[in-house]
Structures are given as C-alpha cells and as structure tokens.
Chain A
Amino acid sequence: MPSSPRSRPSKSLAVGLVAATLLAPVAAHADITVYSAGPGNLINTLAKGFTKKTGTKVEVFQGTTGKVMARIDAEASNPKVDVVISASWDTANDFAKRGWLVSYTSPNAAKVPASLKSDTAVAQGISALAIVWNPDSKTPKPSEWTDLAKPAYKDLVNIPDPAQSGASFELVSALQAQYGWDLFKSLKANGAAVAGANAEALNPVLQGAKAAVFGAVDYIALGEKAKGEKVEVIFPASGTNIAPRPIMIMKWSKHLDDARKFEDYMLSDEGQKAVADVYLMPARTDIKANRPLITDLKVLKLDTKSAYAKRKETLKQFSDLFGK
C-alpha cells in the first residue's frame, strides 16, 4: 500500500491497529485448503475431525456451488485450492475435461457404487429432490409430482428456480423428458410460483404461505423436520433425481498426500457418519443413515450429457412458460 505523505498520525495508528487485528488469524499456517459447497457445519465437522486425527490443518472456504466456482475461475492463473467439494457432478466432468484433476481411488471408496465415482472424482454424499409438504396446510398429502398440479394446491406450490440450482435443473430436464412440458404447463395454470434457490422456496412452506415445494433439496428439509418444523419430505414413487457431491483433488495441489488423506477421511466410517448426520445420503452403501437411502429411491432416467448440452434452451423454455 502506498504510504501517505501527510496522513495524520492518529489515523494511521488507528488503521495500523485495525490492520494488526485483521492480520492476526492469517499467521497460522494452512496445511490444506478446501473449497466446499453446501452444508457449512458438515465441512467444519470434517475439517475438525481430520485435524484431530492427523494434526494436519484444514482451511475451509464455503459457499454455493456458483460462488465456489466463481472463485476457482478467477483464481485459475494462481490457484490456491487443494480439494474441492461441489454440489454438482457436472463440475467434476468439466474439471476433468480441463485436466485440472488428479486421478485417485481412495481405499475407502470400495463400497461406493460405481455410478458415484470416476477416475478423478468420488461422491462425498448424495442429496435427492423431494416434495416438501406442510401438513398444516389443509391440503391432501401429495405423493406424486403430478399431484401438485391438482386444484387442491391452487396457488400453493413453490418451484425452486432451475437457473439457480443444478439439481432443480436436472429434475426439470428429467421430468420434461418424461412428461413433456405439459406437466409444467398445468403447474403454471394452477398458480405455481418459481421462487429463488432452495431455502427461499422452502421458507414460505414452513410458515404456511405455500403448501408444498416441487423438488426441494431433501437434506435441508429433513434437518428442519428434525429441529421440530412441521414438514414432511415425500419421495414420489415415479422417481426423483439425485445429486452426488463430488470430491475432487486439484492437480496443482502442493499437498497431494494430505489431500488424499483428507479424501480417505471423508470416506472413512467417521467421515461418512458426519455426512449422514446432516441428513445427506452417505456415498458408501454400508453406512447407516436415519433417512431413505439411494437404494430406497427410484432415480429418474436422465442423460446428463444431452441435458446439459441443451441447458440454455431448456431454461429459456422454462422461464418463458412461467414468465407469462
């Protein structure tokens, strides 16, 4: 910073003091740096647990998938991050294509289904989309996506914006492939509203302004329910879509050994239990969880490659439909 030729001493002293306070936490040396989307308490628990076990410090940056990726993109000329956990498997494909990822298969990943791992990425946990319904809403309990287009739910349904959430986009793509746009046309005719990202769509259902969310992220709603909120999380029998959350080790990492150990830890019994504790599905099939697991759910068919190839078009059709 340039020093001022005539800044008054009292002020520079004050600035200096503030600066000293601010700088204090940086002095500690970070051993590995992790950028993670999604539940902050999970990544903090994992970081603490790992440090306790190995003594290696974990510095965490947590945000939405979009903000995490914006940071990685802007940093790309001089990257800082060792391990990335995203909420969208598509990022794993894209990073692999750019050659940013290290191939690694953790010994703990043996019990992770083949569909949830690749050469360069493995799922930490999985979320699914569900209908979240308020039983106090004086509406019948819905069991299928199509139920929410019925007159009983007139003006009472929120749909998370597929432009703001990858999981919602995949649900819209999958249902559109199955039912065409008719389902969404009848939802629109029934007064369904497109409402921001996940939490924004869920809050009005908790308060009772809306009766149900069409495709809410399940673990948040299950967490709310555990805290005593009156909501039910319903997985339609016709199927839903799941979002595995890839763990990726970046090729520019200068702490590859520790990064691999952190991946091992996240896939260990202890790490997977922490995943289950925030109501995500653990990636390993042999870990118990207090919620429906991937084997209990029917997963909608979706060709993600072609779905993402026409993402812009799908989003435009969706917003045109709900914009009128």
Chain B
Amino acid sequence: MRRSGFGATAPIGWFATAGLILVVAVPFSFVVLQGIFPNLGAGSFAKPFSALVATLGDRALLAMTGHTLVLGFGVVLFSACLAVPLGVARALYKIPLAPLWDVMLLVPFMVPPYIATLGWIMALEPRGYLEQIVGFNLAPLLFSLPGMIVVMTMNTLPVVYFAVSRTVEAVGSRYADVGRVFGATPARAFWRVTFPLSLPGLAAGLMLVFAAAIEEYGAPAALGGRTHFQVLVTGIDLRVSDWPIDLPGAAILSLTLVTLALLSFLGQRWILQRRSYETTGGKPQNKDKRPLGALTVPVLLGFGTIAMLATVLPLAAIATTALCRTISGGLHVSNLTWANFLAVFQDSAGALDALLTSLALGVGTALVTGLLGLIAAYTTVKTKFRGRMALDIMTILPNALPGVVVAVGLILAWNWPGLPITPYNTPFILLLAYCCILLPQPVRYTTAAFQQIGDNLEAAARVCGASPVTAFRRIMLPLVLPSLATSMLLVFAVASRELVASIVVAPVGTETIATFIWRQFEQGSIGLGMAMAFIAIVITTLLPLCLVGLLRKVTVVEH
C-alpha cells in the first residue's frame, strides 16, 4: 500500500475496511446471495436466479418504484422548504430561546415513526382527539399522499435542520461579509457565497432524508393502505408478513431500494465534486451572531409552528392515549388514569428490562458507528487510500436496506453450522444489525465536515512536528466533533427504538423498547404501549442532552 497524504494512512484505511466488511459487506452480500439462491437458508444453492425473474417480472414493481420515488422526492422537497430556512437562521442569527428550539426539533427524531403515525391517526381521524376537542377531523388530508408526505417530513426534518445549521455555522458569515464589502446585497451574498459553501451539509442531509423516506415503513403502511399507495418497503414487508413467506423476493426488492439510494448518493457526489468547499482554514472565525431585527417575528413564528407540528402534537397524542383507560371512552376526566405509566415502572411484562437493553444497545451502537464512521470518513476524504471509493460506497449501501432484510442477511451470515464463534443468538447480533443500519449517519455527517476543512491545517500541524495521530486528535477531531456528536446522538435515538430488524433477529428471550411496544399493540394494550413509548422518548431525549451538558462543563474546566 502506497503511503501518502499526511499520515500513516494505511493502518487507518485497513481498519476502516475491516470494520466496514464486518458491519456492512457481510450481511449485504448474504442479501444478494439470498436474492440469487432462493433456498440459501437451507444451505442449498439450487435454482439460482429463479426468484429474480418472478420478482422483477411483476407488473406491480414499476408502480411501487414510481410511488417510492414520488414519496422520497416529496419528503425531500418539503423537508428542505421547512428546515433549510430555519437551519440558516439558527446558524447566522441570534435566535431567542435557541436551545429550546434545538431540543424541540431534536424530539421528532426520538419519536419512532410508527408511533408518530399512530399518534397522528388517533388525533386526526373521524372521532379522533381533534374532533373530540374542536369538532372536526382531517382524515381526508391524513389518508392521502400529501398527508403521508407531511407526516414523514415532520419525522425527518431534524436531519436537514441540524445538518444545515451546523454546516452554515461552520461556514460562518466571514465569506459573506467579504461579498458585502464588494457591494453585494445581503440576499445576494447569502445565495452566491454562504449557501453554495454550505452545500456539502445540505446535500448530505437531503440524501439521508431521501434514503430514510424510501426505507420508512410505518407511515406508508398505515396511511397509504386506504389509497392503495404501495411502495417498495410495503411490498417487501408483505412478503414476510404472513405465511407463505418469500425471502428471495424481499431481498430482490431491497436491492432495488439500495439502487435508488446509490443513485441519490452518486448525485450528491456529483454536486460536491465540481468544486472545493473548504471554509475552515487557518484564519480566525468570527463566532458572533447577528440580531434578527425585523425578521424576529416571522422566524419565531416559523420555529413555533414547526415545533408545534413536529413535536408537540404527536407527543400530545401519544401522552393522551397513554393516559386514557380505554380508547372508546374518549377524552373524559373519568377515563383518565396513571395505570399505564405505573405498569411500566412496576416492570409489568418486562418493561424495565426492555428499556435497559435498548439503552445499552443505543449507547453501544453510537460508539461503534461513531468510531467507525469517523475513520471511514477521514479515509475517504483526507487520504489517498486506494479503494476509498469502495469504502464510501460501502457506507451508503445499508442506507436503504430495510431492517427486516438486514436481519435476514445477518442470520444467513452468522448462522452457518460449524462457525466456531458467532454473535447470533446473543445481543451482539442486535448491535451488528443497528450498526449496519445506522452507519451511514455518522459517515455522511463527518464526511461533510471533513470536506470543509482545508488540508493546510493538518499540514501545518505536521510541519510543526505533530505526529499524524496528534494532528488528527488535536486538529481534525475537534473540528468535526460537533457534526460527529450530532450524528452519534441521532444514532443513539434511532438504535434505541429500532423495530423491524429487532423483531426478526432478537436473541430468544431478549426484548427491546420497540418489540415491547409492538407486542403491547399486538395484544391490544395500546395505552401501555404508548406509555412505554412516551417514557422512552423522554429518556432518549434527556440522556444525550445531559451528556452534552456534562461534556460542555468538562471542556470549560480544561480551558
């Protein structure tokens, strides 16, 4: 291996490669093999490609793919329209109550999409909470394509908001100020200078939203069913939802999804490769933000409306359902009860065990994907490691793999007879599944951050005698840390509530938050499920926030 760049790139590159092969390539290649060999589970390679013809020849496939694209682009457009202005405002201006808005826009990510969707349905359907309070319902809007896009946008817009606000903040207003000095209007300076420089973060965020939207199951299944809006994911789930199941068909449809995600990734690369986005050079940054002035009212109105729709309403619907003794009893004082919350704390049906397992898995997944993502991003952006393009592609593959398919791939990969040691049937298999599904988050966020750091910074450190490790630790790491930390936070949130892979791959006797909630719903204990969901949302929001607060204190002391 040729050594180049500024440090000993080979070991880092090899570590990234080994990690990615274990976490991504192994399950992915078994998904591909399952698509080719229908009887792979039984260890047989008979009838290769037979399922391929049957699945790809299905006329419904084209419609499903079309619907998937419409939904994906719809969610991307709508999230961009809502989250980009807010993210830019947050980055460049002094926003009253800024930390509050950050938390409010973080919460939607902590709410499992299937729970949020159920919350929306119970709030807006005929005789739902809205109608019980104000006398009308919004069912026709909810059960339609626009309704689906709105619900999914409310779930995914934090991704865009945080990506944009962090990258625009890193760009700062210095470059735009130069434009202003040369006579540009503020709007022109923004559109011609700040906005183009922030493209890496925006493109990364939008691509993650696209991949999340085409991979999301809950909302299309619950809202699209009535209008017969079949997307690829609902098609995949249909193949494994009841007997007889069709694993090869599910695998092949998933590969179609992965192809869509890969195309969006190539689009993102194409945008980014046309120019340089380095904004973090050696010059000091002016971190002072400007006052909003006349924009105060509209900006606050924007934050308030989005926070209301994305956070307050779904949470209120979840809490209400958890507080009701029966659903048919409706919103009456006599129907209110704490029983569901008490049942969670009294560990009925193993609720506390499930919480602990999920939180431990969430932390583990955040640490592993954070470390692996950091190294993979550094290797692909800052080194000349051969095969870094392959690494980059590996980090994108799982983006659109539905959880159930990752789970099947993992079982196929790790359940071969004669494996001397296997994570299967231990909680490590869940860790592997979550790492596979969530690795794209830290990679995309840190890649965008690395792309903004000029090479001269690391070079300067090396010239001054720092070892490659020191240069990385003292220069590069602190500069990408905000992006990395944000993405690890998101990973923690999603991992602690992942449902579909968990249901299939969970070791016997192990319960996670999501499988617990799902089991309650399945048994008709909706209130208990919602109480657990509410408690999980509160914990997964508060835990990282306390951690961030704690870290901030520590750094202050060090300085």
Contacts and interface: CB of A to CB of B under 8 A. Distances in A.
A303 interface: no
A202 B122 CA distance: 12
A285 interface: no
A204 B349 contact: no
Interface string A1-23: 11011110001001100110111
Contact of A206 (B328, B469, B507): B328
B556 interface: no
Interface in A117-146: 134, 136
A66 B243 contact: yes
Contact of B469 (A6, A19, A75): A6
Contact of B122 (A1, A165, A207, A319): A207
A11 B371 contact: yes
A81 B77 CA distance: 47
Given A18-B360, A22-B428, A199-B524, A2 B43 contact: no
Contacts of A23: 426-428
Nearest to B472: A6
Contact of A22 (B222, B247, B328, B364): B364
Given A6-B11, A22-B427, A231-B328, 14 more contacts: A18-B364, A18-B367, A21-B360, A22-B431, A23-B426, A41-B349, A64-B241, A67-B240, A69-B240, A76-B42, A80-B415, A80-B508, A199-B524, A209-B139
B411 interface: yes
Contacts of B428: 19, 22-23
B241 to A, nearest CB: 4
B367 A15 contact: yes
Contacts of B177: none
Interface string B491-521: 0000000000001111111100000000101
B150 to A, nearest CB: 19
A273 interface: no
Interface in A181-212: 193-197, 199-200, 202-204, 206-209
Given A22-B427, A134-B328, A62 B519 contact: yes
Interface residues of A, number: 81
Nearest to B421: A1
25 contacts: A2-B19, A6-B12, A18-B367, A22-B360, A39-B522, A40-B522, A62-B519, A63-B504, A65-B242, A67-B241, A67-B404, A70-B240, A77-B42, A77-B43, A77-B416, A80-B425, A134-B328, A163-B242, A169-B242, A194-B226, A196-B225, A200-B222, A203-B122, A204-B121, A208-B328
A30 interface: yes
B481 interface: no
A107 interface: no
A285 B307 CA distance: 57
B221 interface: yes
A141 to B, nearest CB: 16
A227 B247 CA distance: 38
B238 A15 contact: no
Interface stretch (B65-73, B95-103, B123-131, B260-268): B123-131
B517 to A, nearest CB: 12
A323 interface: yes
A322 B325 CA distance: 35
B327 A64 contact: no
Contacts of A221: 524
B367 A228 contact: no
A15 B428 CA distance: 11
Contacts of B242: 64-66, 88, 163-166, 169
A74 B328 contact: no
A39 B521 CA distance: 11
Interface of A: 1-2, 4-7, 11, 14-15, 18-19, 21-23, 25-26, 30, 33, 39-41, 44, 59-67, 69-71, 73-78, 80, 86, 88, 90-91, 94, 134, 136, 161, 163-166, 169, 193-197, 199-200, 202-204, 206-209, 220-221, 223-224, 227-231, 311, 319, 322-323
Nearest to B413: A74
B523 interface: yes
A311 B238 CA distance: 14
B549 interface: no
Contact of A66 (B22, B41, B245): B245
Given A19-B364, A63-B504, A73-B41, A220 B327 contact: no
A44 B12 CA distance: 47
A277 to B, nearest CB: 13
Contact of A77 (B14, B22, B41, B225): B41
Nearest to B404: A70
Contacts of B128: 207, 209
A275 to B, nearest CB: 14
B222 A88 contact: no
A11 B508 contact: no
A59 B41 contact: no
Nearest to A70: B240
Given A39-B523, A196-B225, A74 B507 contact: no
Nearest 7 Cβ contacts at the A-B interface: A77-B43, A208-B127, A22-B427, A74-B411, A59-B508, A18-B364, A206-B327
Q: What is the interface of chain B mostly: helix, strand, loop, or mixed?
A: helix
Contacts of A62: 519
In the complex, which range does the number of interface residues on chain B fall in? 35 or more
Interface of B: 11-12, 14-15, 18-19, 22, 41-43, 118, 121-122, 125-128, 139, 221-222, 225-226, 228, 238, 240-245, 247, 325-330, 349, 357, 360-361, 363-364, 367-368, 371, 404, 408, 411-412, 415-417, 425-428, 431, 469, 503-510, 519, 521-526
B351 to A, nearest CB: 13
Contact of B221 (A86, A196, A224): A196
A18 B245 contact: no
Contacts of B329: 228-230
A14 B139 CA distance: 48
Q: Which of A21, A33, A74, A202 has the most CB of B within 10 A?
A: A74
Nearest to B247: A73
A40 B41 CA distance: 26
Contacts of B118: 203
A30 B508 contact: yes
Contacts of B368: 15
B133 to A, nearest CB: 14
A44 B509 CA distance: 10
A211 B19 CA distance: 54
B371 to A, nearest CB: 6
A71 B504 contact: yes
B247 A229 contact: no
Contact of B243 (A74, A166, A197, A199): A166
A292 B326 CA distance: 24
A78 B415 contact: yes
A266 to B, nearest CB: 18
A230 B327 CA distance: 9
A94 B360 contact: no
A323 to B, nearest CB: 4
Nearest to B122: A207
B227 to A, nearest CB: 9
Nearest to A35: B508
A230 B328 contact: yes
Nearest to A198: B522
Contacts of B363: 14, 18
B552 to A, nearest CB: 18
A71 B503 CA distance: 10
Contact of B367 (A1, A14, A208): A14
A85 B417 CA distance: 24
A33 B508 CA distance: 8
Given A69-B245, A196-B225, A223 B523 contact: yes
B509 A224 contact: no
A193 B228 CA distance: 10
Nearest to A86: B243
